Chains A and B, each alone.
Chain A
Amino acid sequence: MSSMIDPAARYLKSHEWARVEGAEIVVGISDHAQDALSDVVYVELPRVGATLKKGDAFGVVESVKAASDVYMPVGGAITAVNKALEKTPELINKAPYGDGWLIKIAPDNAAELNDLLDATAYGQFLAEEEH
């Protein structure tokens, strides 16, 4: 079972992706994560303006099967949350790397992004998890 991986993003082992867009970093969950969770029915996101550290839980993604915390890939201030998910959380299933994004961050230290897995390494990590 192979899932899509956005080559432009970097990844956490907990299956969040992070992508640089201008001065901000956009964060979501990977195609693999949405497939494992199955139908997402509710998303809890932080307040815009909140400041969180790398590794902090910033929200919850709840599906018909499970509720999972989602974690900050880098530290920084939350500059935007995806309001569309309130009414249509299924966007995460339909377009995990696009319209299903979760938050945008103004990073304290963008270099923290280099600690994350790149697309190739994440692909290998997924292959190992399968076995």
Chain B
Amino acid sequence: MSEPLIYELSSPGRTGAILPEPDVPEFELPAELLRKELPLPEVSQIDVTRHFTRLSQRNMSIDTTLYPLGSCTMKYNPRINEDVARLQGFAMLHPLQDAKSAQGAMRLMCQLQMFLAEIVGFAAVSLQPAAGAHGELTGILMMRAYHRDRGDHKRTRMLIPDSAHGTNPASSAMAGLQVVEIPSDSRGNVDLDALRAHLDDSVCGLMITNPNTLGMFEEHIEEVVRLVHAAGGLVYGDGANMNALLGIAKPGEIGFDVMQYNLHKTFSTPHGGGGPGSGPVAVAERLADFLPGPIARVKPGSENGDGTNGQPLYEWHMPSKSIGRMRAFWGNFGMLVRAYTYIRVHGEEGLRAVSQNAVLNANYIQARIKHIYPVPQGERHCMHEFVAQGKFADAPGIRALDIAKRLMDYKFHPPTNYFPLIVPEALMIEPTETESKETLDSFVDALLAIAAEARNTPEIVKEAPHTAPMRRLDEVRAAKELVLCCRLDTVG
């Protein structure tokens, strides 16, 4: 792979754009603000187009292949989401413009809050957090504020099962709480005895991922919630795995107090380079006053319309005991539009079908491979994902990493590996709902072929990938010798 950096394609004076005539008066910038050297790449449009197209073709993405990256819900991003997000009325808004001139956007936010509250059975929602872990931090800060508001200052510990998402301990520590790990039992549930042993009046709450990172629905979830509440703690639900529960189970009705969504997982907004994340938080009634704001709402008294065209008037509102702002402006609004579109396109039955198919697809793969790949919880039905192990007793040199790399030769994105940490040589597989049986079968066939290779021609697996743009990377060197920025004086 020898695609040069865009800076290396630069040639002095080459240009790819013609700037329009200014439509505002020209203004001389103060001399001290002007730089003599501005090392930006000078390239033509066709060079830029080819450069980034070539890079994109070397990538594996949901648009080119099954992307079973467990825990990440790499589902298809429907194109209609993009159409709606590009509507002028949404795309051309300025975050500082007057609320009266952004009523449509605020109406969308209000309705999205309502949908998100309804789907999980909670009382209120804030759309501010910019990602899942940001939503976690928001939720924990609200839990902390709730206890302090009651004059209870000794609740400094957060209980977190070892099957929780890896971000949960980090978010709790960032909020100043002490993390206590709770082990899992042999069926992949929270160990109730261990939970009881840690419950006292120093517990702020429990942070639980359900379904958990083993892809298992907690069989004792109601008892877990009851125990934590009885000790005066609150229950935080990590909503990253909501793709298993849409239209089927409501965390709010199970007794959870707060949960974050990951719109970039469950509601099909792009991950990573395709756009920022979005992690709205939903809360039970007793936490509603603590939500971060401002939040869009219908101005009290205007329900029947003193906005325009008989519509209610929407306004920004700060909850009475709000933990404050968690983000500048109004959240990642473009993502809110996409998630809203996804919900409206699917409707109630459609969302339920999303979860049913996500669970069905994961179980189909699990059933077809569990006699070849060890699946520690293989006797149970999984939810939207499951954890297999990339190891075979009769192929001792082969590890999960080798299998993940070899899958790339079969043109599949590898599953998550080495997470969750509680399963040695973990391969965490989440196909999502959008894959056909034919695609699932070809993925399973690849896994079975690799298992045979592991025994018969292990060197092919050990040295994979063979056909990817890059061969096996040196992970140790990548972790130890970080090159985090390009020195411009060394290129060009």
Binding site for B on A (CB under 8 A): 1, 36, 39, 41-42, 62, 64-66, 90
Q: Which of B62-84 contact A (CB under 8 A)?
A: none
Counting CB contacts under 8 A, is B479 at the interface?
yes
- Which of B396, B424, B476, B480 makes the CB contact (< 8 A) with A36? B424
Q: Are A41 and B480 in contact (CB under 8 A)?
A: yes
Q: Are B476 and A39 in contact (CB under 8 A)?
A: yes
In the complex with contacts A65-B418, A66-B418, A41-B476 CB distance below 8 A: yes
* A residues in contact with B418, CB < 8 Å: 65-66
| Nearest opposing residue in chain A for B181, CB measure | A69
- Which of B421, B424, B476 makes the CB contact (< 8 A) with A64? B476
Chain B 391-431, CB-CB to A under 8 Å as 1, else 0, gives 00000100000000000000000000010010010000000
A53 → B minimal CB distance (Å): 14
Q: Are B396 and A64 in contact (CB under 8 A)?
A: no
A59 → B minimal CB distance (Å): 16
Interface SS, A side: loop
Shortest 6 CB-CB contacts between residues of A and residues of B: A41-B479, A64-B475, A65-B418, A39-B476, A41-B480, A66-B421
User: What are 17 residue pairs bridging A and B, where the CB atoms are less than 8 Å apart in the complex?
Assistant: A1-B396, A36-B424, A39-B475, A39-B476, A41-B476, A41-B479, A41-B480, A42-B479, A42-B480, A62-B479, A64-B475, A64-B476, A64-B479, A65-B418, A66-B418, A66-B421, A90-B476
* A residues in contact with B480, CB < 8 Å: 41-42
Q: A41-B479, A64-B476, A64-B479 are in contact. List 14 more A-B contacts (CB 8 A).
A: A1-B396, A36-B424, A39-B475, A39-B476, A41-B476, A41-B480, A42-B479, A42-B480, A62-B479, A64-B475, A65-B418, A66-B418, A66-B421, A90-B476
Provide the bound-state CA to CA distance between A1 and B421, in Å: 19
* B residues in contact with A42, CB < 8 Å: 479-480
Provide the bound-state CA to CA distance between A66 and B401, in Å: 13
| Nearest opposing residue in chain A for B425, CB measure | A36
Provide the bound-state CA to CA distance between A117 and B427, in Å: 31
| Nearest opposing residue in chain B for A64, CB measure | B475
Provide the bound-state CA to CA distance between A66 and B420, in Å: 10
Chain B 450-492, CB-CB to A under 8 Å as 1, else 0, gives 0000000000000000000000000110011000000000000
Provide the bound-state CA to CA distance between A10 and B233, in Å: 38
* B residues in contact with A39, CB < 8 Å: 475-476
* A residues in contact with B421, CB < 8 Å: 66
A44 → B minimal CB distance (Å): 14
Provide the bound-state CA to CA distance between A64 and B473, in Å: 12
A91 → B minimal CB distance (Å): 13
* B residues in contact with A1, CB < 8 Å: 396
A64 → B minimal CB distance (Å): 4
| Nearest opposing residue in chain A for B426, CB measure | A65
| Nearest opposing residue in chain B for A62, CB measure | B479
* A residues in contact with B424, CB < 8 Å: 36
Provide the bound-state CA to CA distance between A41 and B480, in Å: 6
Provide the bound-state CA to CA distance between A39 and B418, in Å: 13
Provide the bound-state CA to CA distance between A1 and B395, in Å: 11
| Nearest opposing residue in chain B for A39, CB measure | B476
B197 → A minimal CB distance (Å): 15
* A residues in contact with B479, CB < 8 Å: 41-42, 62, 64
B185 → A minimal CB distance (Å): 15
Provide the bound-state CA to CA distance between A1 and B424, in Å: 13
B480 → A minimal CB distance (Å): 5
Provide the bound-state CA to CA distance between A28 and B165, in Å: 28
* B residues in contact with A66, CB < 8 Å: 418, 421
Provide the bound-state CA to CA distance between A21 and B476, in Å: 32
* A residues in contact with B396, CB < 8 Å: 1
B198 → A minimal CB distance (Å): 14
Provide the bound-state CA to CA distance between A16 and B475, in Å: 25
| Nearest opposing residue in chain B for A66, CB measure | B421
Provide the bound-state CA to CA distance between A65 and B475, in Å: 9
B165 → A minimal CB distance (Å): 14
Q: Which of B427-442 contact A (CB under 8 A)?
A: none
A14 → B minimal CB distance (Å): 11
A89 → B minimal CB distance (Å): 8
* A residues in contact with B476, CB < 8 Å: 39, 41, 64, 90
B194 → A minimal CB distance (Å): 14
